[in-house]
Amino acid sequence: MRRFLYPSALAILLCVWCTAMQVTGNWHLLRDHWQMSATMVLGSFVAGSTPAGGGAVAFPVFTKVLAVKSSDAALFGLMIQSIGMSMASLFIISRRIPFYGTVYRWAAIGGSISVVPAVLLLKIPAPLPKLLFSCLIFAFGLVLYWMQSTSSNEPGTLADDAPRFSPRQRLHLLLTGMAGGVLASQLGSGADMLSFIVMIVALGLAPKKAIPTTVLTMATISVAGFLAKLALQPGEIGIVWHYWAVSVPVVAIGAPLGAFVLSKLPQQVVVRWVLALIVAEVASTLLVIDLTSGRITFIAATLAVACLWIWFLVHCRKTRTS
């Protein structure tokens, strides 16, 4: 019965979506906002197959190419991932793709706690969200590059089985999830990348098992943020409803497809694919955004904090290994 979990959910979702579009007479939205649907073809595939999430595509394209406000792009990320990542999670569970349950539970709890007040109360002024996203994904790229260069030289360090997590490690996962929830409220993603960094750098876990873990984590946090916005500030969703409506069927198929491809591809192929996306995103930021002295200071400070955190994770791993 488990193998039919995703196909059944997909059939129900598509029936509900088609009925809603027909009853509300909104089929014209597919013509008016086709760019969003097209963006999420790639974005949803990335969401299901990489630890960068769909935000690695959606947020930069929406804010830099389609001129969507950063706040709307971030909200769209949460709303659409509540569909795409959730469907990918059902696919992962139905196909028995392995993931780290302890990491998921603690990171998802932390992220769900923090994303609700952050999505309702926190507003970062433009263009800082774009710069913050580029800094985050650049630091994430450094970790991926480090993983790529060391994993082949350190056999056995990326364990196939999760260790027994100490109370301190569980607290670290909880705090990582909380930080990721705040980032997700402003960028549409973040908890997936942060939890992946902790799993790889601090805990030395297997990347192919860590990526499905980030999918489930981001799905839970996205649903929490979306429901909070829907329940307490529905009037602020506005035009994002249209972007979401035209993208629902795309991500419901694309994200699980990405998860399926991930389970078949070698790790190095996935890593190189993500690194290429990161290079394109960071380069576009340098070309599009006017880098004033204040913004350069913001970038330097953000990267410094990220590097210090990664150094701390490396120290934690060495302590754990010894």
The three-state secondary structure class of 159 is strand
Q: pLDDT by residue (tens digit) across 219-254? A: 999 999 999 999 999 999 999 999 999 999 999 998
Beta bridge partners of 159: 205
Spatial separation of the C-alpha atoms in residues 80 and 236, rounded to whole Å: 16
CA 106 to chain centre: 16
pLDDT of 322:
56
Q: pLDDT by residue (tens digit) across 118-132? A: 999 999 888 888 899
Q: pLDDT by residue (tens digit) across 67-123? A: 899 889 999 989 999 998 999 999 999 988 899 999 999 999 999 999 999 999 999
Does residue 269 surpass a pLDDT of 80? no
Does residue 156 surpass a pLDDT of 70? no
Kindly report the CA angle at 62 between 113 and 126, in degrees rounded to 5?
65
- pTM across the whole model: 0.88
Q: Which helix (H) or strand (E) holds 92?
A: helix 70-94
The three-state secondary structure class of 205 is strand
Q: What percent of the chain has pLDDT over 70?
A: 93
Are 71 and 141 in contact by the 8 Å Cβ rule? The answer is no
pLDDT of 217:
95
Q: How many CB atoms lie within 10 A of CB 278?
A: 20
Average pLDDT, the chain: 87
